């Protein structure tokens, strides 16, 4: 845990000083590569590059060419992405190139072949058609070493399943840096199921998928994945899904004492592990919310969005009032005024009124795609409410627990 109290500058400086170059070619790189393929990989890698860094080398891509491949690496010391594409390698070698400048420049080039050549004093020449550009690089030896994917102990996870689990939990992760054990989502792997849970202390999103077959998992494996890594994983999986192949249908997941690894075809994402204990979320899952109402997601979303316009700007508080066969949603503020929407729906329990943050409710409806029906379950006005899609999917259980507000 002590690593969280080291200043980022000191920690990064120490890691850079201690970094030793990976065993890779260090000659005067000279390659030709397709602009489309290069841009695709730069697009994937550039989001990892640190924008504002006190360590200049972290603003660069590392290019390494050998055989018939160009490998591109980006890192901010907390996480890294290594990706590759086909290339004609005239001379194997390695160089570093300013990431943002290169990405912006390659985007402006027309389709065709691009040649990349390392010159004297770490300058890099880029030729494409009639365009000839030279960029000021830095010594490859300064680039931090990135951990290699472990040789054993990886688990194959269905890419589509992982993508869905991330989308349904990432929004509930805490953004308060001081609560670092809540700055990620907990992944729970078992031989025949997997689950993901995230909470910020006010709400909790939990999804469990049954009927999985996770070879290599015995017992229960719990891993805390940082929000930043989940966001990166989400965008990588979104791109992969558009052109799924046998190789990209699965994500290989592995970890060691300090690092998490996710491999998708030719890309490897690594992330520093979050340390600390994730809270006992099972203790807060509601057990006796016996009052419920079922409404169309689109109706609820429309009503919430309208009423939320008149909620207090700071709290976003709205009231849900359940009465005989209707759900009343209302808000008021001294600045904006007041608003009420009524949804007719079967309800035959005692009247109930409970307050929630409207943004939290809207987040959940966005996560389920705002389609079908949703079930809202309550115990009383002081206890946590539970929401879940009414979709009858026995293999997937998704629930969202929300603490009430005093209004």
> pLDDT-based confidence at 12, cuts 50/70/90?
very low
In this structure, the answer to whether residues 261 and 310 fall within a common structural domain is: no
| Same domain membership, residue 247 and residue 119 | no
Judge whether 150 lies within some domain: no
Q: Which of 225, 250, 281 is the last residue of a domain?
A: 281
pTM: 0.87
Residues 383 and 291 grouped into a single domain: yes
Tell me the pLDDT band of 53, cut-offs 50, 70 and 90.
Answer: confident
In the chain, % helix, strand, coil (3-state, to 5) comes to 25, 40, 35
More confident residue, 99 or 183: 99
Task: In the chain, count H helices and then E strands.
Answer: 7, 25
Residues 261, 292, single domain; the answer is no
pLDDT at res. 153: 87
- How is 326-374 classified by DSSP, letter by letter? EEEEEEEETTTEEEEEEEE----S--EEEEEEHHHHHHHHHHTTS-SEE
Return the percentage of the chain with pLDDT > 70, whole number: 90
Kindly state whether residue 355 falls inside one of the protein's structural domains.
yes
Asked if residue 29 and residue 120 are part of one domain, the reply reads: yes
| Burial class, 210, CB count within 10 angstroms (exposed 0-12 / middle 13-18 / buried 19+) | middle
Give a yes or no: residue 148 inside a domain: no
As a whole number, mean pLDDT of residues 115-134 equals 96
pLDDT in tens, 323-369: 999 999 999 999 899 999 999 999 999 999 999 999 999 999 999 98
- Shared domain for 276 and 291, answered yes or no, is no
The structural domain count of the chain equals 3
Residue 217 lies in a domain: yes
11 and 137 housed in the same domain? yes
Alpha helix (H) residue ranges in 75-226:
99-108, 159-167
Residue 17 pLDDT: 40
230: domain CATH number?
3.10.150.10
- pLDDT for the residue 246: 52
Asked, for residue 296, whether it belongs to a domain, the answer is yes
Average pLDDT for 126-145? 96
User: pLDDT band for position 397 (50/70/90)?
Assistant: very high
Work out the percent of the chain whose per-residue pLDDT is above 90.
Answer: 75
Check residue 18 and give its pLDDT: 42
Q: Is residue 218 part of a domain?
A: yes
Checking if the pLDDT of 103 tops 50, the result is yes
For the chain, the average pLDDT equals 89
Please give the average per-residue pLDDT across 269-278, as a whole number. 91
Same-domain check for residues 270 and 163: yes
* Structural domain boundaries, residue 199: 155-281
Distances 114 to 19, 69, 266, 334 between C-alpha atoms, Å: 31, 14, 21, 61
Q: Do 6 and 130 reside in the same domain of the chain?
A: yes
Of the three residues 231, 249, 281, the one that is the final residue of a domain is 281
pLDDT value of residue 308: 96
Least confident of 31-35, 133-137, 219-223: 219-223
Looking at 108, 142, 176, which one is the last position of a domain?
142
Q: Are residues 220 and 316 in the same domain?
A: no
Q: Say what the pLDDT of residue 20 is.
A: 41
Both 271 and 213 in one domain: the answer is yes
């Amino acid at each position: 845990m002590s690593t969280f109290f080291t200043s980022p500058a000191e920690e990064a400086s120490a890691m850079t000083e201690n970094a030793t170059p990976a065993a890779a070619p260090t000659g005067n790189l000279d390659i030709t590569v397709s602009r489309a393929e290069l841009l695709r990989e730069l697009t994937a890698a550039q989001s990892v590059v640190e924008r504002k860094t006190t360590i200049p080398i972290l603003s660069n891509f590392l290019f390494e060419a050998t055989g018939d491949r160009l490998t591109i690496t980006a890192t901010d010391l907390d996480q890294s992405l290594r990706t590759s594409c086909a290339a004609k390698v005239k001379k194997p070698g390695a160089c570093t190139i300013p990431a943002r400048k290169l990405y912006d420049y390659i985007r402006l080039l027309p389709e065709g072949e691009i040649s990349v050549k390392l010159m004297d004093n770490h300058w890099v020449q880029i030729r494409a058609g009639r365009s000839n550009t030279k960029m000021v690089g830095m010594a490859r030896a300064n680039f931090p070493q990135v951990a290699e994917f472990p040789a054993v102990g990886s688990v194959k996870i269905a890419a589509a399943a992982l993508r869905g689990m991330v989308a349904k939990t990432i929004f509930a992760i805490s953004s308060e840096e001081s609560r670092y054990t809540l700055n990620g989502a907990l992944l729970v792997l078992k031989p025949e199921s997997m689950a993901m849970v995230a909470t910020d202390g006010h709400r909790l999103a939990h999804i469990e998928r049954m009927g999985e077959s996770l070879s290599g998992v015995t017992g229960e494996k719990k891993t805390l994945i940082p929000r930043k890594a989940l966001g990166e994983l989400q965008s990588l999986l979104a791109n992969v899904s558009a052109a799924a192949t046998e190789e990209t249908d699965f994500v290989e997941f592995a970890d060691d004492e300090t690092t998490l690894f996710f491999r998708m075809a030719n890309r490897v994402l690594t992330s520093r592990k979050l340390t600390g204990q994730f809270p006992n979320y099972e203790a807060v899952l509601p057990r006796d919310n016996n009052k419920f109402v079922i409404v169309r997601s689109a109706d609820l979303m429309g009503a919430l969005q309208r009423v939320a316009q008149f909620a207090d700007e700071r709290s976003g508080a709205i009231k849900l009032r359940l009465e005989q066969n209707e759900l009343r949603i209302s808000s008021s503020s001294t600045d904006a005024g007041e608003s009420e929407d009524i949804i007719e729906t079967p309800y035959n329990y005692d009247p109930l009124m409970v307050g929630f943050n409207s943004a939290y409710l809207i987040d959940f409806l966005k996560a389920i795609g705002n389609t079908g029906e949703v079930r809202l379950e309550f115990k009383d006005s002081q206890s946590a409410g539970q929401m879940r899609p009414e979709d009858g999917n026995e293999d997937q259980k998704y629930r969202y627990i929300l603490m009430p507000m005093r209004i």
